[in-house]
Amino acid sequence: MPTHEQILLKNMSTPGYTGSLADYERAGGYQALRKVLGKITPADVTEMVKKSGLRGRGGAGFPTAVKWEFLPKDYQGPRYLCCNADESEPGTFKDRQLMERDPHQMLEGIVIACYAIGAEIGYIYIRGEFALGTQILERALGEARAAGYLGTNILDTGFNLDVWVHRGAGAYICGEETALLESLEGKRGLPRVKPPFPATHGLYNKPTVVNNVETLANLPHILNRGPEWFASIGAPPRSTGTRIFCVSGHVKRPGNYEVPMGITFRELIFEHAGGMRSDKPLKAIIPGGASAAFFTDQHLEVKLDFESVAQAGSMLGSGGVTVMEEGTSMVWAALRLMEFFYHESCGKCTPCREGSSWLVQTLRRIMAKRGRHEDLDTLTELCKNIAGRTICAFGDAEVAPILSTLQYWRHEYEELIEAAEAAELITPEPALARH
Amino acid sequence: MADVAVETVKLTIDGVPVTALQGTLVIEAARQMGVMIPHFCYHPKLKPDANCRMCVVEIEKVPKLQTSCSTPVAEGMVVRTATTVVNEAHKSILEFILANHPLDCPV
């Protein structure tokens, strides 16, 4: 099996590593912070991050330093950094491992980011279900404060910062940056209309940067070993560094795999994750979390970098790679994902709220062999009227599974509909409105 | 009125040149020239929420339809309120709303 240098997962893979501050420092932790604070200007830090080519690891892949630079330059008031630890994209579990097993790596990244953007308060918005992660983070924050890495006059450089953990309450939509900010402010987690963007009108309407856990965890390494080193890994210039891919589904070894960007799906699934669980042929892959369009076995040679996956018709997204074997019903898969989206729709805007409900009811009917021929056109029409018409990207996300399964496995839908017609079922319909 | 130091903005709505005060919402600028953009959740006395999506319009050079209740006018903006795409959007939004909405409002 090919071995690639582990960067983010290195510490936690060392036997006996507990994630404590002492362990982290022994492994070279907080060196980057000492190198940076008071010695490299915030603007230079941003420049280094820009040279490294680091792009957001939450799903959108936006260049991190460019996002930082959107903050207004001459503004004098408070700025905020929010770490998006709401990891809720189905099939994604990398941030959880990063926070539970090596919290200080992310914390060091948070301090560096706050220094670069001039924030004196940072928030970690962690999904409510991560009770263990919250406990571990609180403990790590206590250690960092006691050691003087957080608080006033950090490392005698005059830089002040404190970081607080805020628990979510189970809403996938709170991973959307503006909904996260609303929730952090104590309001219902409903996305805001953009523009304006959080960089100018974020938390409490102040300039704010929202970054993902893995994005922040990369910062100490970039500052320690240099942006050129980071930029030489992976698939430069557009997809630099490593990425933690979360392989799940019908594979022998599901789990988190940190690999350089640009390896193929085949290498990730068959070499790292051990191949198919029951040795059946591979049927489908979800490349980047539930919002990413499905891939087939024809896509195994596609490279895992932002551009290649986008060109092949999907998105690298959150890094959640779910594998399905021959025998999986793709209509069932689309329905399962649609149930998730229907449940998680925040309800604010019409197309997503009504559309998700309509889509899920139609799919349930088809799956229950109560479908009609016009249902397939209905599904396509609905998807067309939802995507691009919503306040946030949730609308675009929820139509991806249906559109891509219809594209590659339309015959499965048709078979179910033909079965419904053949059976001429007149028994009462199963309960379709399940809340 | 001549002493008010608020800038005006020149834009085009449905081919007609319009001059509006800076900060005016597109839906209001349209109303000022006699074009009623359909809407449900917008009210001049409330902060725009842009959740019904009915007031969408086409704005040149912007890829997606934009809600006119939450978009302020901009210099040189070209707005179209009644194209085929916009009309189909109106129909689909209305259909979405009515899908789960008993039509007994007139009662």
Residue of A350, A358, A388 lying closest to B52 (CB–CB): A350
Confidence of residue A423 (pLDDT cuts 50, 70, 90): confident
The pLDDT value recorded for residue A435 is 45
On whether ipTM exceeds 0.85, the answer is yes
Judge: B93–A389 Cβ closer than 8 Å, yes or no: yes
pLDDT band at B9 (very low <50, low <70, confident <90, very high): very high
Please write the tens of the pLDDT for every residue from B17-72: 999 999 999 999 999 999 999 999 999 999 999 999 999 999 999 999 999 999 99
- Global pTM? 0.94
Between helices B84-99 and A374-386, what is the axis angle to 10°? 110
Distance to chain A for B2, nearest Cα, Å: 31
Averaged pLDDT score across all residues of chain A: 95
pLDDT score for B104 = 79
Residues of B in contact with A348 (CB under 8 A): 49, 51
Q: pLDDT class for A246, splitting at 50, 70, 90?
A: very high
CB contact under 8 A, B53 and A350: yes
Asked if the Cβ–Cβ distance from B89 to A389 is below 8 Å, we say yes
Higher pLDDT, A30 or B102: A30
Q: What are the CB-based long-range contacts (under 8 Å, 24+) for A203-208? A: A203/A80, A203/A82, A203/A123, A204/A78, A204/A80, A206/A77, A206/A78, A206/A79, A206/A80, A207/A71, A207/A72, A207/A75, A207/A79, A207/A80, A208/A79, A208/A80, A208/A81, A208/A82, A208/A181
Using the beta-carbon criterion (under 8 Å), do A349 and B51 form an inter-chain contact? yes
- Which has the closest alpha carbon to A355: A389, A323, A332, A326? A389
Alpha carbon distance B44, B51 (integer Å): 15
Distance of residue A263 Cα from the nearest chain B Cα, in angstroms: 33
Between chains, do A357 and B99 touch, taking CB under 8 Å as contact?
A: yes
- The mean pLDDT of A22-43, rounded to a whole number, is 96
Q: How confident is the model at residue B107 (pLDDT cuts 50, 70, 90)?
A: low
**Mutation target among B41, B47, B53 for the A interface, most CBs of A within 10 A:** B53
